[in-house]
Amino acid sequence: MVTIRAQGLSVRLGRHSALDGVDLHLEPGRLVGIIGPNGAGKSTLIRALLGLVKRESGSVLIDGIDSARLTRRDVARRIAYLPQGQTLHWPLAVERLVALGRMPHLGPLSRLSAEDEAQIDAALARADVLHLKGRVATELSGGERARVLLARALAVGAPALIADEPLAALDPGHQIDVMDLLKAEAQAGSLVVTVLHDLGMAARYCDRLLLMDRGSLVADGAPLEVLTEENLARVYGISARIETAGDRPLILPMGRIRG
């Protein structure tokens, strides 16, 4: 179990304010989606939570501990991170790539233990890529590679998972596979946060949505509360039809609002 709390989190990238006083509390057991237009600060927010970008002000508490007092390794054991649109720099075998996920748990010179191997196999199975174990990761299709990289993040075995646009470049079938997997992780008690661009997927799968606009958190709540016509018009500048199916909205973007 892990909790993440941000207080007044601000980040500047160059002269541009990328994140402006975000307050946030994330708890395990729910699938949280971060949505918002390009450049709204979604990736910056999660990079700031992970300590990958310098904070201008504010604080991040992980399990109630100020993250400034945690080492990178401490954070790595608590939060697994799947960066956006990953390029792989060397043609590693899938098994070798997924094994990188065990790094936060390894001593300086120790080798993979039987438990590490078991975690790696479990992660491969959960992401449904066990059959790709011996293949070379750079020679896989986009959908296979995305799932292998997800397996790499799962292999960390951390109580929290933060994924930045895990659906990019996936066909609808694979998008559903990945969302099902994230949902299952959350229901199994993990803290799962994911940046999404597909509002339909966000509405269908997420228990809670965070809507970002120009570095600020402008809406936070259940999909029905966040995905309103007013919010979509204000933040995305689009008109959309919103139907309700059960407790979840169905979103159909209609057009740009000019003016």
Partner 1 sequence: MSARRHPLLIPALIALALIAALGSLTLGAVPLSPPRILAVLTGGGDAIARAILLDLRLPRMLLGLIVGAMLGLSGAALQGYLRNPLAEPSVLGASNAAALGAVCALYFGLAELHPLALPALAIAASLIGIGALFLLAGPAESPLTLILAGIAIATLAGAGISLSLNLSPNPFAAMEIMSWLMGSLENRSYSHVWIALPCVAVGAALLIADGRTLDALTLGEDGAQALGIDLRRARLRLMLGVAVGVGGAVAVSGAIGFVGLIVPHLVRPLTDRSPSAILLPSMLGGAVLLTLADIGVRLIPTSSELKLGVLTALLGVPVFLIHLMRERRLW
Least gap, CB of 169 to partner 1 (angstroms): 17
Q: Which of 25, 27, 65, 71 binds partner 1 (CB under 8 A)?
A: 71
Least gap, CB of 198 to partner 1 (angstroms): 23
Least gap, CB of 77 to partner 1 (angstroms): 7
Least gap, CB of 38 to partner 1 (angstroms): 19
Q: Which of 2, 13, 61, 93 binds partner 1 (CB under 8 A)?
A: 93
What residues does 11 pair with on adjacent strands? 19
**Sequence-distant (≥ 6) Cβ neighbours of residue 16 within 8 angstroms:** none
Backbone angles phi, psi at 183, to 5 degrees: -60, -45
CB-nearer residue toward partner 1: 132 or 227: 132
Torsion angle of C-alpha atoms 41, 45, 47, 49, degrees rounded to 10 = 170
Q: How many CB atoms lie within 10 A of CB 110?
A: 9
Q: Which of 1, 25, 27, 73 binds partner 1 (CB under 8 A)?
A: 73
Q: Which of 130, 136, 218, 222 binds partner 1 (CB under 8 A)?
A: 136
What residues does 60 pair with on adjacent strands? 6
Q: Which of 79, 120, 129, 193 binds partner 1 (CB under 8 A)?
A: 79
Q: Which of 31, 48, 62, 97 binds partner 1 (CB under 8 A)?
A: 97
- Contact stretch for partner 1 (CB under 8 A) within 82-90, 115-123, 205-213, 238-246: 82-90
Task: Name residues contacting partner 1, limited to 11-70 (CB under 8 A).
Answer: 47, 50-52
Angle at 82 between CA 198 and CA 206, to 5 degrees: 40
Q: Which one, of 158, 147, 159, lies nearest residue 97 by Cα?
A: 147
Residue owning tokens 């740009």: 256
- DSSP 8-state symbol, 136: B
Q: Which of 13, 100, 238, 250 binds partner 1 (CB under 8 A)?
A: 100
State how far Cα 106 lies from the chain centre. 24
Stretch (H or E) spanning 225? helix 223-226
- DSSP 8-state symbol, 51: T
Least gap, CB of 165 to partner 1 (angstroms): 13
Q: How many CB atoms lie within 10 A of CB 21?
A: 16
Least gap, CB of 243 to partner 1 (angstroms): 38
Residues of this chain that bind partner 1 (CB under 8 A): 47, 50-52, 71-77, 79-81, 83, 86-93, 95-97, 100-101, 103-104, 106, 108, 134, 136, 152, 156
